[in-house]
């Protein structure tokens, strides 16, 4: 790909162009997320919502960096996951049963999508409680409200735990030095704090919920944070200044345990593995994948010939040149939540590049709340320091959505 032609270019956040590209991609992701969220109404077909979302992504992406030799495209296809689904879901038109799947009123669906500019992807996931067709937006109560509020606060807590120690410290030089000398929280401590939030709302953390270090053309870097790890898995790495992360939180009204669903895997991503594919159909499929998506996730639905792609992808997956994401859901069929935020960590703190809409406290009513003093104290902390009027407004907004109830 193009990233090998100009190795002398600085692609880190030290280069202002990098952050500009991330922010441009994020603006597109937010705009399409808002449009797709509005499409999520009772009775609407999931596959049609995904198709419209992808079309909007393509249209918005073509409007930026016109005439410049910069690779740009979809950083994550539009996925709309029903209530009990843990992983992003993007059905195919050619799968008759799945193509007929519609949204049900009252269920919590997760919308995930993203754009990428020059290999800098901003992926975002938000949740929508599906409204009844033609009805006004209703106040969400009961267990659904518990789940959404728990997810909101768990997400805000996790983001604050990713800010490097001492980065936003106030006071004397000695106090700042002392704060900077503190060790970042361990992944076990992070997990335990998130689990306390979940417990306050009587929900569970979805096992193996993973946040990844992002890089150019890479959304699963060497560093990762795993919440509620299972099967011997473990995270590795501490967030640092100059990094971009995809921060994920997932909670469940059930056990939090995950099972593979009996559906075709439709979400894929090219790997760095090279292999001489034998079938012409496989080579044609891989060629289209490389050209359109690089190493970013895609749906088979986005390829020119969906039915041919279903044939061509088989050898690509078997040989390891393409990875398929197995569809997974909550083992007992309970509702699960998911938020994914793309963040940049700079010397001024943490910036939400692509994030879910702030939770409206008037929209969700729960009789549960967080009472743990350590957690409440962390939630009161800002994500970034004020560096001017515009950023000051962002900071105030963050504090409003991130405090206790």
3-state SS track over 13-34? CCCHHHHHHHHHHHHHHHHHHH
Confidence band of 88 (pLDDT split at 50, 70, 90) = very high
Which residue ranges make up each domain of the chain? 16-132+139-170+183-265+325-380, 266-324
The string of pLDDT tens digits covering residues 141-163 is 999 999 999 999 999 999 999 99
Q: How sure is the predictor about 5, in pLDDT bands with cuts at 50, 70 and 90? A: low
The SS3 assignment for 323 reads strand
Instruction: Give the pair of three-digit tokens for residue 269.
Output: 């991503």
CATH architecture of the domain covering 266-324: Orthogonal Bundle (1.10)
* Percentage of the residues of the chain whose pLDDT score is greater than 90: 81
Say how far apart CA 352 and CA 335 lie, in whole Å. Answer: 26
pTM (2 decimals)? 0.91
The dihedral over CA atoms of 116, 117, 121, 123, expressed in degrees to the nearest 10, equals -50
What is the pLDDT confidence band of residue 171, given thresholds at 50, 70 and 90? confident
**CATH 3.10.129.10 assigned to 16-132+139-170+183-265+325-380:** no
């Amino acid at each position: 790909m193009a990233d090998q032609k100009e190795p002398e270019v600085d692609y880190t956040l030290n280069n202002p162009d990098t952050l500009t590209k991330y922010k441009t991609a994020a603006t597109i992701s937010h705009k399409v997320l808002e449009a797709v969220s509005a499409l999520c109404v009772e009775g609407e077909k999931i596959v049609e919502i995904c198709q419209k979302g992808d079309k909007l992504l393509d249209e918005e992406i073509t409007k930026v960096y016109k005439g410049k030799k910069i690779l740009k495209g979809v950083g994550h296809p539009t996925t709309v996951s029903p209530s009990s689904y843990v992983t992003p879901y993007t059905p195919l038109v050619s799968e008759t049963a799945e193509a007929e799947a519609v949204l049900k009123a009252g269920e919590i669906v997760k919308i995930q999508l993203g754009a990428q500019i020059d290999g800098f992807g901003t992926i975002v996931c938000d949740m929508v409680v599906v409204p009844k067709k033609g009805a006004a937006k209703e106040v969400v109560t009961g267990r659904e409200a518990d789940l959404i509020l728990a997810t909101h606060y768990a997400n805000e807590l996790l983001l604050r735990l990713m800010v490097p120690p001492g980065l936003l410290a106030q006071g004397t030089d000695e106090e700042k030095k002392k704060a900077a000398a503190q060790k970042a929280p361990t992944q076990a401590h992070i997990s335990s704090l998130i689990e306390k939030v979940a417990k306050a709302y009587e929900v569970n953390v979805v096992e193996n919920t993973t946040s990844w270090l992002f890089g150019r053309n890479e959304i699963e870097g060497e560093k990762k944070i795993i919440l509620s790890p299972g099967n011997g898995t473990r995270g590795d790495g501490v967030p640092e200044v100059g990094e971009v992360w995809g921060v994920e939180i997932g909670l469940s009204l059930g056990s939090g345990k995950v099972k593979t669903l009996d559906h075709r895997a439709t979400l894929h991503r090219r790997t760095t593995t090279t292999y001489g594919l034998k079938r012409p159909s496989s080579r044609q499929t891989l060629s289209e994948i490389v050209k359109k998506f690089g190493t970013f996730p895609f749906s088979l639905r986005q390829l020119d010939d969906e039915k041919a792609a279903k044939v061509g992808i088989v050898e690509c997956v078997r040989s390891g040149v393409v990875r398929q994401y197995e569809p997974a859901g909550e083992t007992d069929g309970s509702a699960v939540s998911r938020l994914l935020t793309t963040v940049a960590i700079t010397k001024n703190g943490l910036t939400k590049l692509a994030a879910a809409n702030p939770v409206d406290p008037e929209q969700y009513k729960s009789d549960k709340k967080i009472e743990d003093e350590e957690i409440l104290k962390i939630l009161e902390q800002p994500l970034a320091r004020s560096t001017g009027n515009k950023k000051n407004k962002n900071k105030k907004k963050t504090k409003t959505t991130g405090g206790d109830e």
